[in-house]
Amino acid sequence: MSIGHLIRQYQDLAAERPESFEWFDADVVRALGDLCARLDDDDIAGPEQLVIEVPAFVEAELLGWLGALGDRLASRDRAADERDVRRLALDLHRRTGDEFAIAVAMSRLASPLTALGDLKEALALRRQAFDGMIRLARRHEAPRREDRLREDRRSEARWRAATAEAEPLAELLVRLDRPLAALRVADRLVKALDPLEEEWSAEPYALALRLRARMLSRTGSHAEAVTVAEKAVEWFRHVGVSFEVAFTLNILSDIHHLAGDLTAALEASRQALDAARDDPSDQVTLGLAWGGLAVRHGNLGQWAQARDCLDEALAVDAPRSDLRAAHLRRLSDVLGRLRETEEALEVMLEAVDIDRDLVAADPGRHLPDLAIDLVNLGIRYTAAGRGAKAVYATEEAVKHYRDLVERDGSRSVDLAQAYGCLAERLAENGQAARAAAEAKRSAELYRQAGDPRLADALRALGTYLHTDGDHDASAAAMADAIDLFRTAGDLPGLAHVLFNAAVTARVCGRIDDALARARESAEIYQRLYDEGGAEWDLDLADALRLLGGIWEEARQFEHAITSLDRAVSLLERAYRPGDTDRGEQLAATLHNLSRYHEMAERFDRSLTLMRRSVSLYGELIQHDPVSFRSRLASAWLSLGVYLWRTGGLDECLSTLRLSVDLYREAGDRAGLAHALRMLSDRTAEAAGGEHGGEHGDTGENGGEDALGMLHEAMEILEDLALQRPEPYLPKLAMTIDSLAERLCERGAHREALPHAERAADIWAGLGDTDCLVGSLHRRLFILTCLGRDTEATVERLTEVQEDLAHTVRTLNDVAQELLGIGLLDQARRHLDRAAALWEIHVIQHPDADPMPCAHVLDSMATLLSRQGSPGEAAAAQREVVEIFEAGASADPDVFLGALAVVLDRLGGYLHDAGRDLDALPYQRRCVEIMERRAAHDPSRRPSLVTALDHLGELLTVLGHAEADAVRDRAATLRAALPTED
C-alpha cells in the first residue's frame, strides 16, 4: 500500500472525526499530495499496514515515514527533494508542539539547504536548533522520584543532541568566514557541559573540548588550541573510547601543523597510532592513524617513511573501501615524489578501479572521488610518458564533473578546473588547438563563477593559442573583438579594448605586444581628449599610467617617467579640491612616478613627488576616510623609504609610525604587517651601531621594539596565510626569516633557530629555491654558532642548489659572517668544506668560472691573517690576485676595481709578515689602478686616498725618499674630499 493510499484513508478519518485530527488539515493533505505526485513510486513506497484509528499513531507513522524518505533522498544526493520533505516534516512537528522534535527537524532541514547553497537559512535553522537543544537539556522536570530515571535519560539524549549539533553549526559559521562566532558556539557548549557531574557527560564534554580546540585553531590561537586539544585527549582516555582518542590526537597533530611545529605534529600522529592500536578490532581507526602519520612524514619531506606508513594503512584497509582508495591516492602522490613513476601509476589505477566499484553502488557519494582520481591518473600517465592515456583519463573526469554540475551547480569551478587540466594534458600531447578550446570553456566557467582562477585560465589560454600560432586569437582571448571595434570605427570602444588587451599581454609577459597595444590606446584617447576635452581625461590618464607600467617592466624607466609625467600634468590641470575621482588618480600617479624616479636613483625628485602624493591623499581622506586611509598609509610608507634612502632616519621613523597607525585604523592587516616589517628594520637600524642613542627612544629598548613589531607582523601574516596562502605565505616566510636574522644580530641564536627552520620549511613547500637557500644559509650560520652538527644542512644546500659552485659561495658567505663575529675556527671548517667542494666541481667542470674559488681564498686569507699567520694569508691572497688579474685582462670594466682591492690586501698581508719589499710592487699597482679609476669617476677618490695612505706607510717603513711626496698627495686629496654634514 502506498503512502498516497494511506493519506486518503487518513483523510477520510479526519473528515469523520475532525476533533481528533485537528492537525491533519487541508494544507497538510495538499502538501503531502503534491509531494507524492512529484516523487517516484520507488521513493514513496512503504509496507502495507492496517489503518489504526489512533491520532497519535497516525501522527507518528507519517512523521516516521517522512524522516525515512528524507534519509533515502539524502543517500541518493537529491538535495532539492530532500529539502521539501524535511520542510514538510518540520511543519508537522511544529503542529505537535514537541520542542525537541522541532529542534531535530530544524537540524535535518539545514543539511539539504547547506548542500543547495542556501547558507543563510541553514545557519538560522542550526542556530535555533542548537539554542533549543541547549535550553531543553537544561530543564529538569522530574518532581517525582519514579520519574527521575526517565528524565535523566531524556536529559542525556538532549545534551548529546546539542553536542552533535554544535559541530555542523560551527563548521557552517567557519564556511561563512565567521570563525570567532564558531568559537563562541564551542565555548558555550563547553561552559554548559562543564558543571554536569553525571558519568555519561564525560564524552559530550570531551567532544565539546575537541570542537573548541578546532575552532581556536581556525582563529589562529594555536597555542591555546593545543592545550584544549590535549585536555580533550585526557577526557577521552578517561571515557575509554580508543577511536575518539586517536581521532582527537590527529586533530592535535593538525593544530601543531598549522602552528608550524612539524615535529610536534609528527609526535601527535604517532600517539594517535598508539591509541588506535589499543583496539585491534577497529581497523578503520588504525588505517586512518597510519594515513595521518604518513601525511606528517610528507610534511617533513620524509617520503620514504610516508610510503611505509601508507603501506601499513593499506594492510588494514577494507579491500574495496573509500578509505583504501584515499590511501592509494596519497600513496601515488608519495611515489611520484620519490620518482617511482610506474609504481605511482599502478597505485593510482587501483584507486580508480575501487572508485568505479563504489560509484556503481552509490554514485551520489563517490562520483566526486572518481572524478578527482581520474584527474590525478592523467597526471600520472603524463609523468610516465603516456600522453594519449593522460588525455583519455582527464576527458572522463570532465564528463563526470559535467554530471556533478547538473546535480549541483556550485561545482562549476570543479568543472572549470577539470577543463583546465584537460587543456594542459592536450597541450603536453601536442594538441594546442584542442587545448585552447578546453581552456576557453575553463575561462568562461571561472568568469561566470567570479572565481579568481580566471586570470590563470586566461593566461593558459593565451599560451595555448600562441603555441598554436594563432596570435590574433590569442589576443582575442585576452581582450574582446579588437578587429570588430576597429572595423566599426568605434574609437572609444577600440581604445578601451586595446587597453584591456595591453593589460592581458602584460600579464602573459608579451611586453612588446603590450607596449604596442598600450601606445595605440593612449594615442586614441589623446585624440578623443583633444576633441572632447575633460570627458576623456581620466581614460587618457589611465592609458598613460598603463603605458608607464609596461615601460617599467621593460626596464625603460626614462620612458616610464615620460608617460607618467604626461599623466600627472593632465590630472593636475583637471583636479579640483573635492574631486575624489581625479584626486585619487593623481595621487596614485604621483606615487608611481615617485617610484620610477627611485628606480632611476633620483631620490630627491622621488621624495618631492611622494610628499605631494601624501598631501593629496591627506585631502582626499577628509572626504572619504574609509576609501583613502589605507592608500594614505601606503604613501606614508613609501615616503618613509625615500627619507631613509636620503639619510633622514629620524623623519623616516616618524613617517613609518604614521603608516602603521593608519593601517591599524583602516583594519588593513596585510598593509599593517608590511608597515610593521619596514618600521622594525628602521627601528633596529636606529637602535644599533653608530645610531644608538641618537633617535629618541631607540637604543636597547628600540631593539626590543623592533623584535616586537616583527612578532606582530608574523602573527598577522599567519592568520592571513591560513585564509589565503597566496600571497601571504611567502610574506610570512620572509617575516620569519627577518625575525631569525634579527635574533642572530642580537646573539640569540638558540631562539632564532626554530624560526629559521620554519622559514625553510615554508619556502620548501612553496618550491621557492632561492628563498629556501637563504633560509638554509641562516640555519647553517645559527647551527654553527650553537656548535651543532651542520652536515645535514650542508647536504640539503647541495641538493637544493644542484650546482656545487653555488654551495661554495653559500659556505663562503657563512664563513664571512662567522669571521665578522670572531668565530674563526668555525669559519675555517666551512672554508675547508668549500675548498673541497670546489675541487670536486672543477673536476666535473674544468672550465668553471674561478670566482667562487677566489672568494673562498680571499676569506681564507682574512682568517689566516686574524690567526696571526700573515705569511700564509699572503700566499692565499696571491692566488686571489692571479684570478682577478686574469679576469681584468678579459673584462677590465668588471674586474679592475676588485683587482685593486685584492692587491691592497695582499700588500697589507706581506707588510704584516715583514716582507715590505715584496709588498711594494703590489701596493704601487693598486694605487695606479685607483688613480685611473678616480680620474674617470670622482666618487672613487676616497678609495684612492686610502691606497695612497697604505703606500706612503710602506715607503716610510722602507725609508724610501718618495714616502713624503706620497703622503703629502694623500693629505691634499683628503682635504679636497666633500665633508659629511
Greater confidence (664 vs 600) lies with 664
Q: Assess whether pLDDT exceeds 90 at residue 393.
A: yes
10-24, 141-155, 642-656, 940-954: segment of lowest average pLDDT: 141-155
Asked if the bond preceding 727 is cis, omega within 30° of 0, the reply is: yes
Distances from the Cα of 418 to the Cαs of 288, 360, 389, 698, in angstroms?
Answer: 28, 22, 16, 56
Q: What was the pLDDT predicted at 362?
A: 80
pLDDT of 692 above 70: no
**Helix or strand or coil: residue 340?**
coil
CA gap 108, 794 in Å, rounded:
58
Q: Concatenate the DSSP letters of all residues of 367-429 into one string.
A: HHHHHHHHHHHHHHHHHTT-HHHHHHHHHHHHHHHHHHHHH-GGGHHHHHHHHHHHHHHHHHT
Residue with cell 704601487: 924
Residue with cell 502538501: 31
**How far apart are the C-alpha atoms of 797 and 806, rounded to whole Å?**
9
Q: What is the pLDDT of residue 56?
A: 67
Residue with cell 568566514: 177
Question: Of the ranges 167-171, 254-258, 480-484, which one carries the lowest mean pLDDT score?
Answer: 480-484
In this prediction, residues 31-50 reach a mean pLDDT of 62
- Percentage of the residues of the chain whose pLDDT score is greater than 70: 88
Binning pLDDT at 50, 70 and 90, where does residue 356 land? very high
Neighbouring residues of 956: CB distance < 8 A, sequence distance ≥ 6: 963, 967
Residue 962 above 60 pLDDT?
A: yes
User: What are the cell numbers at 635?
Assistant: 604613501
**Residue 694 — very low, low, confident or very high, per pLDDT cuts 50/70/90?**
very low
Residue at 790: amino acid letter: T
For residue 374, pLDDT beyond 90:
yes
Mean pLDDT of the chain: 83
Q: Give the Cα separation of 330 and 317 in Å (integer).
A: 14
pLDDT digit string, tens, across residues 346-355: 999 999 999 9
What is the model's pLDDT at position 510?
78
Supply the pLDDT for residue 486: 66
Q: Give yes or no for a contact between 344 and 383, defined as CB atoms under 8 angstroms apart.
A: yes
Q: Which of 202-206, 264-268, 459-463, 635-639 has the lowest mean pLDDT?
A: 459-463
Residues 926, 960: contact at Cβ < 8 Å? no
Rounded Cα distance, 787 and 973, in Å: 48
Q: What angle do CA 82, 86, 90 make, to 5 degrees?
A: 170
Question: What was the pLDDT predicted at 481?
Answer: 46
- 437 against 499, higher pLDDT: 437
Whether residue 760 is predicted with pLDDT greater than 70 in this model: the reply is: yes
C-alpha cell at 758: 620554519
Question: How do residues 602-611 score in pLDDT, each as one tens digit?
Answer: 878 888 888 8
pLDDT value at position 891?
A: 86
> 762-796, pLDDT tens digit by residue?
988 888 888 888 888 888 889 888 888 888 888 88
Cell of 559: 620612458
Q: What is the mean pLDDT of residues 431-448?
A: 87
pLDDT of 466 > 70? The answer is no
Q: pLDDT-based confidence at 691, cuts 50/70/90?
A: very low
Q: What is the DSSP letter of 883?
A: H
Rounded CA-CA distance 100/385 in Å is 60
The set of cell numbers assigned to 211 is 570542537
Q: What is the DSSP letter of 802?
A: -
Q: How far is CA 953 from CA 743, 958, 965, 969, in A?
A: 41, 9, 12, 13
C-alpha cell of residue 146: 519514579
Helix locations, 554-688, DSSP H: 557-574, 580-599, 603-623, 625-645, 649-666, 669-687
Q: Write out pLDDT tens, residues 884-916.
A: 888 888 888 888 888 889 899 989 999 888 898
Span 581-598, average pLDDT = 85
Q: How many CB atoms sit inside 10 A of residue 295's CB? A: 20
pLDDT surpasses 80 at 154: no
User: Average pLDDT, stretch 169-186?
Assistant: 89
pLDDT grade for 461, boundaries at 50, 70 and 90:
confident
Q: Which residue has the cell 672613487?
A: 940
C-alpha cell at 684: 633596529
For residues 830-868, b (16+ Cβ closer than 10 Å) or e, as one string? bbebbbebbeebeeeeeebebbbbbbbbbbbbbbbbeee
Q: Return d(Cα 785, Cα 751) in angstroms, integer.
A: 12
Asked if residue 84 has pLDDT above 90, the reply is: no
Question: What pLDDT is attached to residue 487?
Answer: 63
Residue 8 has pLDDT above 60, yes or no: no
What is d(CA 848, CA 861) in angstroms, rounded to the nearest whole number?
22
CA atoms within 13 A on the CB side of 619: 17
Are the CB atoms for 491 and 507 separated by under 8 Å?
A: no
The model's confidence at residue 981, banded by pLDDT at 50, 70 and 90, is very low
pLDDT of res. 702: 59
Q: Which of 125-129, 402-406, 468-472, 651-655 has the lowest mean pLDDT?
A: 468-472
User: Residue 442: pLDDT above 50?
Assistant: yes
State yes or no: pLDDT of 101 exceeds 50: yes
Q: Which residues 6+ apart lie within 8 Å of 931 measured at CB?
A: 944
Residue 470 pLDDT exceeds 80: no
Contact partners, residue 754, CB within 8 Å, separation at least 6: none
Cell, residue 392? 583519455
Cα 200 to its chain centre, rounded Å, is 43
Instruction: Give the alpha-carbon dihedral of 674, 299, 219, 211, to 10 degrees.
Output: 180
Determine the average pLDDT of the residues in 292-318.
Answer: 89
**What amino acid is encoded at 577 in this protein?**
P
Q: Does the pLDDT of residue 396 top 90, yes or no?
A: yes
Q: At a CB cut-off of 8 Å and minimum separation 6, what does 69 contact?
A: 39, 43, 44, 85
